Amino acid sequence: MRAGGTERRDRVNDLRAIIAEQRRTIRRLEAALKKQPGEPVPARCARCGCEKLYKNGMTSIHLKRILNIDRNGFEYRIPVQKFVCVNCGAGAHLKGPPALYHWIVRIAGERK
């Protein structure tokens, strides 16, 4: 009987180790899903008004379009975060100066 009890104890310990690893994985994934503090996000969906918008890749937009400037010399395209509405599936992106956030963060990261 002792051999059976030892096997069960070993199996229970193995399962506890697996559960602990899965909990660590869940915590890591939850942390990755959280938004960066201060990161700009559209307040709500323009189509349905839903407040739940999730990141959905990046796009690039002309700097003059973001700053609303109609001059030559602002043809540079910068990366802008795209978002998708959970409720209706409409796409959105930041507009105006908040759209510059990811470009500035990238430049700051390159200069470190």
Q: What is the pLDDT of residues 2-50, one digit of tens each?
A: 566 789 999 999 999 999 999 998 888 777 666 556 678 888 899 999 9
Q: What is the pLDDT of residues 93-107, one digit of tens each?
A: 888 778 788 777 777
Q: Is this structure's pTM higher than 0.85?
A: no
Of the pLDDT bands very low, low, confident and very high (cuts 50, 70, 90), residue 83 is very high
Helices (H), 34-112: 63-67, 101-110
Residue 53 burial by Cβ neighbours in a 10 Å radius (0-12, 13-18, 19+): buried
